[in-house]
Amino acid sequence: MKVIHSHLGGMAPYMMGRIDTAFKRYKKVVHIDASLTPSEVYRKHVYIDTLAMHVPAIRCAHEYMGIDRLLFGTDYPHRASGTVEENMAIIDEMGFTQEEKEKVLSKNAIRLFNLA
């Protein structure tokens, strides 16, 4: 199963250290038999959109998730939190290479949805 977690993954990517620590300490209590930590499962099955309107947050998500798990996101048609053009400008501010930008804007979605 693949999941798209909106709004830059919410708090999940930024809390994974704490989530993994709790998982390791409590899995015997709740009898979880898993060979992967929550962070490993998250990075394997989850994609996040770039909707944050905040370059430092997107940089953090990019560092944690990697370029192949980022999808371009907007709040269209809800314009109060940013237009499509403003979201594109944020992507430009990221300083991605042309190849990275193409992945975020289309190639990752094409791969995810098997559109090739």
CATH number of the CATH domain containing 39: 3.20.20.140
pLDDT of residue 79: 77
pLDDT of residue 29: 59
pLDDT at 10 over 90: yes
Looking at the DSSP bridge assignments, the partners of residue 4 are: 47
Tokens of 80: 């109060």
Rounded-to-integer distance, Cα 52 and Cα 8, Å: 6
82-93 pLDDT, tens per residue?
889 999 999 999
pLDDT of residue 48: 97
User: Which residues, at least 6 apart from 60, have a Cβ–Cβ distance to it below 8 Å?
Assistant: 13, 14
Give me the number of domains the chain comprises: 1
Tokens of 41: 């499962």
Q: Write out the residue range of the structural domain in which residue 22 sits.
A: 3-112
pLDDT at 8 over 70: yes
